[in-house]
Amino acid sequence: MTTVKTLSRTGQLLGAIVCAATLSACATAPQSSTTAQLAKPSLQAMLSQAGTASGAGQKEQAVTLWKQAAVAYPADKAPWLNIAQTRYEAGQYGDAIINAQEVLVRDPNDTLANSIIAISGLRLSTRSLSDLSRQNNLSGSIRTESQDLAKLLRESLGETVLVPPAAAPSPAAAPARGKVAAKKAGGKAKAEEASANPFDALK
């Protein structure tokens, strides 16, 4: 009889312990979740911190902070747009295109991201065409495709040429002899620059 009572009390004690543990787990789970949410800074705070770093000239630190914001808020386009613009301004056009494409994944109609991709792509193309022209290696299918792309760009921009020639100097009063020589040298440099236009080979 005593053994039965002891077992009964032990069972009740174990039941009470299990209930207490369950209630404790239920009470602490939401609390830890709330703590995690409180510990995570807002997107605006993260963007503000990155913007401050960028404004102080610490571009790489700003990019790192924007990347952290992109990880914390993966659905938002703002961090990627800031990175794309920073890379574009630094002349890193390949990286600018990659990051702008991340913006378009989240917002296909973003005008700035589309502009960054278009202009960065054009600048990369200009560099490559210039290199190919210098090497006299612009031929075959590459030349044909380049001509098609140049035509498409001219039509899109509403221009007959992609890179207009330098404007002719306006007539003025007869300058001094030294200025005449400098003007001739400047005109020669402009002519050479115009002849180095990589799109000339595509006309």
Q: What is the CATH number of the domain that holds 100?
A: 1.25.40.10
Per the structure, the count of domains in the chain is 1
pLDDT tens track for 56-100: 999 999 999 999 999 999 999 999 999 999 999 999 999 999 999
- What global pTM score does this model have? 0.56
Quickly list DSSP for 72-118: HSTT-SHHHHHHHHHHHHTT-HHHHHHHHHHHHHH-TT-HHHHHHHH
Confidence of residue 7 (pLDDT cuts 50, 70, 90): very low
- The range of the structural domain enclosing residue 100 comes to 43-157
The answer to whether position 52 is within a domain reads: yes
Of 63-77, 134-148, 161-175, the range with the lowest mean pLDDT is 161-175
The answer to whether position 13 is within a domain reads: no
Residues 6+ positions from 188 with CB-CB distance below 8 Å: none
The answer to whether position 19 is within a domain reads: no
The answer to whether position 138 is within a domain reads: yes
pLDDT exceeds cutoff 60 at 192? no
Are 121 and 97 in contact by the 8 Å Cβ rule? The answer is yes
Instruction: Tell me phi and psi for residue 75, to 5 degrees.
Output: -85, -10
The answer to whether position 53 is within a domain reads: yes
The angle that helices 59-72 and 43-55 make with each other, rounded to 10 degrees, is: 170
- Judged by DSSP in three states, 134 sits in helix
The answer to whether position 146 is within a domain reads: yes
Q: Which range, 123-137, 138-152, 162-176, is most confident?
A: 123-137
The answer to whether position 18 is within a domain reads: no
Q: How is residue 164 annotated by DSSP?
A: P
pLDDT exceeds cutoff 70 at 105? yes
The answer to whether position 84 is within a domain reads: yes
